[in-house]
Structure 1
Amino acid sequence: MKWIGRFEGYNAGALRKDLISGCIVAIVAIPLGMAFAIASGVKPEYGLYTTIVAGILVSLLGGSKFQIGGPTGAFIPILLAIVMQYGYENLLIAGFMAGIILVLMGVLRLGALIKFIPKPVTIGFTAGIAVTIFSGQIANFLGLRGVERHETFLPSMAELIHRLPSLNVYSILTACICLAALIWVPKKWPKVPGSLVGLLLSTLVAAWLFPGQVATIGSAYGAIPASLPELHIPALTWDLIVKLLPPALVIAMLGAIESLLSAVVADGMTGTKHNSNRELVGQGIANLLTPLFGGIPATGAIARTATNIRNGAVSPMSGIVHGFVVFLILVLFAPYASNIPLASMAPVLMIVAWNMSERKHFAHILKTRTADSIVLVVTFLLTVFTTLTTAVEVGLILAVVLFVKRMSSTLSVNKVLPDPSVKHEKVGAHMVTEQHDCPQVAIYNVEGPLFFGAASVLESSGMGGKADRQQGILLLRMGKVPFMDMTGEANFTVLIQKYRQFGGTVLVSGLQPQPQALLQKTGCYDMIGQEHFFEHTGEAITAALALVNQNQCFGCRQMAFRECGTLCRKSQEQPGGAGLHKPAAQSKSSFPDSAVSVSISVNSGS
């Protein structure tokens, strides 16, 4: 019913718009599909098979009304490395396994987790992939002969330098014609696919002016078949599954990120909202079935999705139409595509790399000169010089470590007292001095998340030490502790236990729901006692002053609280001037409930 709901109110007018948009996207997708396949180290027709099968299934089963699925530039370095290390047949199996992983991610509702990948990591590896794609097309642009493919950047650059004497002037001229069309056509006619014009124009010029002088798809890969291949079920063994699990996980992870980013872009352009878990299931099924027809891994394509929306798409029908149109063109015009020069394909991918480089966002984060800048640069360099897997792993670990460091600095523990000069007598750390501190009540303001990265701050703060134990009553203001984990709870509980061992009383004000629930589960809440928890600081101060030993108030000159004058007089009125340890008058504290706020600077870590 949800699938039908996406076509609610669908009519002939909407179908007409979807047909137009689907045809335009198909024309854009054909050269890109072949170019991505060639750059990934496989035959160009495999990119077309992916465009057809995955394009139809992603639109039919995905969670976005406007998503266009197919091969994308982000996969190029990953797929090329897998082909070189494991071979094309094993690439299909890895893609099949990635499809299973994506389906499981969607079923387990893990779509929202992708949003938690830090932006510096995604921009870093995206920019790194762009550099890899661009540099990988230099050989075809220059028409270099005998170039061997390498998995990493530096050997690839060394190979290019070694083969420079073999450059082909005709290839450079062909590539420049296509590049000029790619740059000029979108400016002159924005709705005309520049890649298609560039390929047609450069192919005609090469065939007419210098036939046989440049390498073509046909000369490098053979003629493109005019039909889909027969269905082929991969032969899976346990050893093969174990061997291909790492590349399958990388394909699934990048496919999930790319598809959900594309869906978010579509939401922003249309004002709609995609279903992230359903999108993962749709992407997974597409990647399960595409390898059965020889297709390479696919994901949501941001540029083609945007093209789909700009040309008036109304529903997923436009993506389905796009897949069938590509199939129709494959059947009718496949032999002619074999004449396209490889030099014409190079500028198409170079422009794709330039557009996906995230150069503006990259420069913006770099200029901030923060910890995020370090994560960005490290992820980028590792993507270029090692592998995407290494880059993402190190980038995420580095981002987590820096995040924990920054969050640990946000936890502050300060001893405070009321400030009579401030409205509502809000508490402040500046009020506590050697000459101004209550001998019986210690008030501490705890502010920030109490988790494993910051739990040691409780120990280093000196709270609950010998001086506090002599005071006898410890009041903890916890209104600005939004979160507590088990490590934080353990340190907190140890503090309370040590304080209570010396006969002290602990009061807590403003405890938030999450820390309260955790303390109740661990038993610390009951150990402190429900009667010692207060919603507001004013109420907690009233309770604390009711517990003080009035005998000690006699002669005290600290005057930490407004009630101190009253307590001193009461102690003098006791027989012999020595009061017993009994509660002071239960008059309402002069510190109102609004005394929960505190003026304490918190280091943001950025």
Structure 2
Amino acid sequence: MNLFHPKILDSFKGYSGALLSKDVLAGITVGVVALPLAMAFAIASGLKPEAGIFTAIIAGGLISILGGSRVQIGGPAGAFIVIVYGIVDHYGIANLLLATAMSGVFLFLMGLFRLGTLIRFIPVAVIIGFTNGIAVLIGLSQIKEFFGLQITKMPAEFFQAVQTLYAAADTVNPIALMLSIGSLALLIAWKAIQKHLGYLSHIPGTVIAMAAATIVTSVLSLPVDTIGSRFGGIPSGLPSFEWIPISWGTAQFVIAPAITLALLGAIESLLCARVADGLIHDRHDSNQELMAQGIANLVTPFFGGMPATGTIARTVTSVQSGASTPIAGIVHSVTLLVIILFGAPLAKNIPLASLAAILMYVAWNMGEWKKFADLKQFRLPYRLTMLSVFFLTIALDLTVAIQVGLLFAFITFIYRISSLSRYEPASAIDFPELQQHQGSISAFRIYGAIFFGAVKLLESIENELPSTTLVLDLKNVIYIDVSGMDAILELEEACKARSIRLMICGLAHQPYEMAVRGGLLERVPSDFIYPDLQHGIAAAISQSH
């Protein structure tokens, strides 16, 4: 039970009818919000609209029941659009389902082996870079529907997509464009006046924009693409369970996309959970959340669904509507189920131009554009990391972007830590007796970490060896790795080759454990090991007489 303990089991202490009513109302609200987003995300990903709705119902319910956050709402997310569209384009829908299921296994294993906290080590610059890059790609992917361009199929690659859009620039549908602009304007206006609407402020702008565009399209019989004309509408019920064809050869074929989906799903869900923690002043269980995400992504593909993760916009909407337990997320799924059971025929007239406007709005709000304006406040490595991830996400691939971003962050971290590691000779003010033994006895204080990025520090000391005794004070060394210990052992060998006594002072905690494991204490006599520099220098002077 300690390994698998959903948050819902601890959510009902002090629960009351008033809290239940708030959860139910919040669940209904966020269910209505999720409807246009789920369809829009699926369509933008190259799938049918019902794939997004089924994912929101099944994965959303499983994440709420099994997750490690009290209020997180799961379902299809905008961050997945670019990845899913690329997988569908290169591998096909059948392989997308397999990759999604495999990503679920990876996510579950990440949570089972307690790797949830490691996601927090991904630098902010990397997260902002790929988030903004994905936002740009989402906006780019919606230009076709926003302008009503006559394009049979949009390429997945950035430069080819731009070229295709440019080639079709003379096929703009003015009616679709006016509908898109009207929907976008309504979204922006609704957001601006929402605080003055009283109870109506709880109605999301996405629903208002979609409903208004659908009514206008139906009443005026506008010549624009709709869900009905493109996909034939959506089914009024859940799909049946169908086995995904699985073979070792196919699994090898999609393992890279599956890993990408798992990593992105883990990052998105845990970031969302942290945002939720701040809203309700609670602390989520990151490993339990990953296991729940894994189960949801493993199950959903067998019902024709797409990848799912925690969704920040819907989670915030749920909390602001009064949610306090996973009941709200369960009600959100039930609400969507009721909508498709009884209202599926109404979806036929939803114009794709309106959904494109909604996604444009989501993409804009998804990006952290102010961070680019603030770049001048940061050092060059931070700027380089963020911008490289941003441009690589757009131009190449999210996986490559994250790899390069982590590499830049890794190199920057090594450089910064190595620059903080230093050594200095013992002060003549603190140890005036050393002045009488200049050239024969040298004492150095080492600060920081002795690791593979700072071994030159010991090489520099080796170039300043005295004639009889070297005293090293490691009191201010916080960490020594294997490479650092090897460098110390090499320094000990150099001293032995020149008949120089090496005295070690201040070994404690991790450096002491490393000295034991590395064999340093076996090679340095016990009477050359001292608790502090003062005793070491006194012994060195005493032995020199």
Equivalent position amino acid for 1:205 in 2: V
Partner Cα separation in structure 2 for residue 541 and residue 172 of structure 1: 82
Instruction: State how far apart, in whole Å, the 1-side matches of 2:388 and 2:181 are.
Output: 34
Which residue identity does 1:488 align to in structure 2?
G
Match in the other structure for 1:347: 357
SS in 2 for 1:483: strand
Contact persistence 1:185–1:192 (CA under 8 A)? no
Task: State the alpha-carbon separation in 2 of the partners of residues 76 and 101 from structure 1.
Answer: 20
- Distance in 1 separating the partners of 2:101 and 2:290: 14
Question: Given the alignment, which residue of 318, 322, 327 partners 1:317?
Answer: 327
C-alpha separation in 1, matches of 2:309 and 2:373? 27
Q: Paired residue for 1:582?
A: none
Matched-pair contact (CA < 8 Å) for 1:177–1:201: no
Name whichever of 199-208 and 255-264 sits farther off.
199-208
Shift of 1:271: 1.2
Distance change >3 Å, CA 522–CA 170, structure 1 → 2: same
Match of 2:454 in 1: 454
- Is structure 2 residue 343 aligned with structure 1 residue 333? yes
Displacement of 1:437 in angstroms is: 6.4
Contact 1:140 1:346 in 2 (8 A): yes
**2:470 is aligned with 1:474:** yes
- Following superposition, the deviation at residue 389 of structure 1 comes to 1.2
1:379 matched to which residue of 2? 389
Q: TM-score, normalised by structure 1?
A: 0.85
Partner of 2:512: 516
> What TM-score do the two structures reach when normalised by structure 2?
0.94
Select the structure with the greater relative contact order (CA < 8 A; seq sep ≥ 6).
Answer: 2
Contact 1:263-1:274 at 8 Å conserved across structures: yes
Report the Cα distance in structure 1 between the residues aligned to 2:300 and 2:431, rounded to whole angstroms. Answer: 66
1:186 and 2:191 equivalent? yes
Alignment partner for residue 359 of structure 1, among 369, 382, 386?
A: 369
Residues matched between the structures, number: 534
Find the partner of 1:92 among 70, 78, 97: 97
Partner secondary structure for residue 333 of structure 1: helix
Cα 1:20–1:530, aligned 2, differ >3 Å: closer, same or farther? farther
Does the residue aligned with 1:417 lie in a helix, a strand or coil?
coil
The equivalent position to 1:274 in structure 2, one of 279, 284, 296, is 284
Is 1:305 aligned to 2:320, yes or no? no
2:441/2:466 contact within 8 Å kept: no
CA distance in 1, matches of 2:184, 2:250: 42
SS in 1 for 2:145: helix
Structure with greater Cα Rg: 1
Cα deviations by residue, 1:465-490 (Å, 9 ceiling, x for unpaired): 4x6341x1211121222111111110
CA distance in 2, matches of 1:317, 1:371: 44
Corresponding position of 1:174: 179
Residue 197 (structure 2) aligns with = none
Q: Please identify which structure carries the higher helix content.
A: 2
Is structure 2 residue 222 aligned with structure 1 residue 226?
A: no
| AA of the residue aligned to 2:204 | P
Tell me how far 1:108 sits from its aligned partner: 0.8
Q: How far does residue 519 in structure 1 lie from its aligned partner after superposition? A: 1.0
Question: Within 5 A, what are the aligned runs for 1:84-233?
Answer: 84-189=89-194, 190-209=201-220, 211-233=221-243
Q: Does 1:64 align with 2:69?
A: yes
Q: Provide the residue aligned with 2:85 in structure 1.
A: 80
1:411 aligned residue: 421
- Contact 1:186–1:192, Cα closer than 8 Å, also in 2: no
Aligned residue in 2 for 1:238: 248
The CA RMSD over aligned residues, in Å, is 1.8
Pair 1:34 & 2:39 matched? yes
Residue 532 of structure 2 is matched in structure 1 by 536
Partners of 1:264 and 1:361 in 2: CA distance? 19
Shift of 1:392: 1.1
**Which residue type is aligned with residue 251 of structure 1?**
L
Deviations 1:43-90 (A, max 9, x none): 001100000001100010011111100000000000000000111111
Q: Residue 449 of structure 2: SS of its match in structure 1?
A: coil
Please state how far the C-alpha of 1:390 moved relative to its aligned partner. Answer: 1.2
Q: Please point out which of 237, 249, 253 is paired with 2:263.
A: 253
**Equivalent-residue separation in structure 2 for 1:39 and 1:533 (angstroms):** 67
SS at match of 2:544: coil
Whether the aligned pair in 2 keeps the contact of 1:139 and 1:147 (CA below 8 Å) is no
Asked whether the equivalents of residues 120 and 365 of structure 1 are also in contact (C-alpha less than 8 Å), the reply is no
Residue pair 1:448, 1:480 contacting (<8 A) in 2 also: yes
Q: 2:49 aligns with which of 44, 50, 53?
A: 44
| SS across alignment from 2:259 | helix
**Partner amino acid for 2:203?**
V
Q: Contact conserved, 1:148 with 1:159, CA < 8 A, in 2? A: no
**Aligned partner of residue 418 in structure 1, secondary structure:** coil
Describe the SS at the equivalent of 2:164: helix
Distance in structure 2 (CA, Å) of the matches to 1:165 and 1:506: 80
Seq. identity, %: 40
Distance 2:526 2:369 in 1: 56
Asked if 1 retains the 8 angstrom alpha-carbon contact of 2:473 and 2:506, the reply is: yes
Q: Is the 8 A contact 1:231 1:292 kept in 2?
A: yes
Taking a change above 3 Å as real, the CA distance of residues 436 and 225 of structure 1, as seen in their structure-2 partners, is farther
Q: CA deviation at 1:548?
A: 2.4
Quick one: distance in 1 between partners of 2:439 and 2:377? Answer: 51
Match 1:546 to one of 538, 542, 545: 542
The answer as to whether partners of 2:64 and 2:326 remain within 8 angstroms in 1 is: yes
